[in-house]
Copies of this chain bind each other. A is one copy, B any other.
Amino acid sequence: MVKAIFEPDGRRVEARAKESLLKIAQQVGITIRSECGGKGTCGKCRLQVSPKQSVTPPTSVEKEHLTVKEMKMGYRLACQALVTGDLDVQLMVPRESRITKRRLQIEGITNPVTLRPVVHAVQVSVPPVDPTHPVADDERLIEGLRKRIGGKRGSWVIPMWVTRRIPEIIRESLGQVTVTLWDKRTVIDVNAGDTREDLFGVALDIGTSKLVASLHSLVTGNLLAVAGLENPQIRHGEDIMSRLSFAAKDPTNRAVLQNLILDSINLLLARLAQEATISLDHIYELVVVGNTVMTSLFLGLDTKYLGYGPFTAPARGYLNVSSDILNLSLPPQANVHVLPCIAGYVGADAVADILATGLHRRKRMSLLIDIGTNSEVVLGNREELTACSCAAGPAFEGAQIEHGMKAVSGAIERVSIHPDSMEVEVETVDNKPPIGICGSGVVDAVAQLAEVGLLTPHGRFTDYPTSRLLQDERGKRFILFERRDGERESTITLSEHDVSQLLLAKAAIQTGYRLVLDHHHLSPADLDRVFIAGAFGNYLNPASARVIGLIPRVPSNRVTFVGNAALAGARLALLSRTHRSQAIRLAKTTHFLDLARHPDFNQTYTSSLFLPKETEE
């Protein structure tokens, strides 16, 4: 038995060796186009598979329907490829093979931004060769650049990959070329004719549990496509500590983790380019954010000393690397820019969160909570900022919850329980029949159970008599949804174990915001605004979040949901060099609060494990 993860929904199932991908998908209710019913004649059930060795080699039927290039990119027919049973398999259902579309919950707030990208393109006329004085091709290109934008001849750098292209391009175009420049002086591409519009960039947030990327035009700033994937490193540990210890176990493991993430980024990039119908060859910059562990593993840095105190980052970041060093499927000279980290695990994602919410420009005190497997909390204003990181674990992503799932079609995202009848009403994503419960649904359910008196402050079910409470060998559980549909029966429950998983996760975050507030001698009432970031944040019921203590007790009108603020911040740094230099300043000046060394950590954490009383805080 191996694990199969279906993207973009992130549905995980156990799969048996020799089972076809189509059959595995059908068993868990994932609908893949298949007009011939799995006979291999329609060629519609296309999937992208990673790693390729996790399934049997392509059959002759597949070679008829797929091009060599597609097979190189991992495309297979779901009815033909069988799981080998040796390796876990990650499957991407491409748009053309999907029947329902997933809910897009991955964009962050979009701030207006004055476009000042680091990459720009200019049209250049390359002077022809004077046969009596044949000047080298690269020098003629520079001469053309000098005439077009001024400056000395020695001002430009042309990296090797570009130099190799110059002779062909300047002749094919009869000297009329478009030169792509990075930071004004590095020639990162040359193309024939006027291709100034073909200038794109990608913002990428590497989360502990998922990757989200957005594609933008660097000419208009427009958002062209968004795509997300599970973080494939999950197979080596749900949280950052277990990935760090996996990396430390064997010298090759760090490369294993790096390659997993690079392969997935290449999948994302291909998907973005496909959706926007642009060429990968015109994506010239990738701005990356993530916590310190994620960005360090992405860059292949030595993470050995990041796993124990004082949790020193191998590099502060603000790194510019050319894409060829990372084997990304971008032009070799495309620039990969990693935003700087603050300290410890408070990484480039926290810097991006600040950029996106403008915390550093506000006069009054604001609190930012970025909810994720690794969560960040930032408090402050334009005078002073303090940040810490909290190991919440993946409960909010639906993992470690028995019927948990991501917020895709059919996930319960809202729960209300009638205080007298104990009748339950649920709302699901896309109003589809319920098939599981996502993070915001669990928060709602726990808050409602507490409010109607079915849960003690310790997260135990009370003895209140209701048929919705079951007791079996695994303990007590509450029935959220039940249906009998002919032969098929479906029951979605929330167990005491699920409740304790949620309380552990919220305790980590609550400890974080309580200690940063203490550090500034502030109480929740002093907060002008509370920003809630994170993929699941937008669908969170703020009242429920307050009830369980996931966010401090402030009036609802002071709470703002900002979605994936880390991605939004990365986008700002992609589109504007002003924001990029701002990020460097923020990384240096934001104070790092090390919770692991905080004298009040244990006491605060222990008291945060409970559901707060109404009067508290």
Contact = CB atoms under 8 A, between A and B. Distances in A.
A136 B166 contact: no
Interface stretch (A305-313, A457-465, A606-614): A305-313
Interface stretch (A16-24, A34-42, A259-267, A296-304): A296-304
B167 A300 contact: no
A419 to B, nearest CB: 49
A109 interface: no
A319 interface: yes
Contacts of A136: 312-317, 341, 343
A520 interface: no
Nearest to A254: B164
Given A134-B343, A160-B321, A314 B129 contact: no
B167 A137 contact: no
A163 B343 CA distance: 17
B134 A314 contact: no
Given A139-B316, A314-B138, A316-B138, A302 B168 contact: yes
Contacts of A149: none
A160 B295 CA distance: 13
A131 interface: yes
Given A165-B302, A168-B304, A325 B160 contact: yes
Interface string A96-139: 00000000000000000000000000000000011111111111
Contacts of A474: none
B315 A597 contact: no
Interface in A362-380: none
A519 interface: no
A305 B343 CA distance: 53
A344 interface: yes
Contacts of A316: 135-136, 138-139
A319 B160 contact: yes
B131 A310 contact: yes
A147 interface: no
A128 to B, nearest CB: 10
The dominant DSSP class at the A interface is: loop
A605 to B, nearest CB: 20
Contact of A312 (B137, B300, B341, B344): B137
A164 B302 contact: yes
Interface string A158-192: 10100111111001000000000000000000000
A531 interface: no
A200 interface: no
A594 interface: yes
Interface in A523-541: none
A592 interface: yes
B129 A310 contact: yes
A166 B299 contact: no
A133 B342 CA distance: 10
Given A160-B319, A163-B319, A319-B160, A135 B312 contact: yes
Interface in A274-333: 299-302, 304-305, 309-317, 319, 321, 325
A111 B463 CA distance: 97
B315 A134 contact: no
Interface centre among A134, A165, A594 (most CB of B within 10 A): A134
Nearest to A131: B310
Contacts of A165: 302
A594 B310 contact: no
A168 B300 CA distance: 14
Interface string A376-387: 000000000000
A594 B317 CA distance: 51
Contacts of A168: 302, 304
B343 A301 contact: no
Contacts of A133: 343, 592
Nearest to A332: B325
A311 to B, nearest CB: 6
A344 B132 CA distance: 11
Contacts of A309: 131
A316 B134 CA distance: 11
Nearest to A158: B315
A211 B137 CA distance: 26
Contacts of A130: 310
B134 A344 contact: yes
A137 to B, nearest CB: 5
A597 B313 CA distance: 62
B344 A314 contact: no
A299 B139 CA distance: 17
13 contacts: A129-B312, A134-B312, A134-B343, A134-B594, A135-B316, A137-B315, A138-B316, A160-B321, A163-B314, A163-B315, A163-B319, A164-B314, A168-B304
| Closest CB pairs A-B (n = 8) | A136-B316, A136-B313, A131-B310, A167-B302, A134-B310, A138-B315, A134-B312, A167-B314
Given A133-B343, A166-B314, 11 more contacts: A131-B309, A134-B310, A135-B312, A135-B316, A136-B313, A136-B341, A138-B315, A160-B299, A160-B321, A163-B314, A168-B302
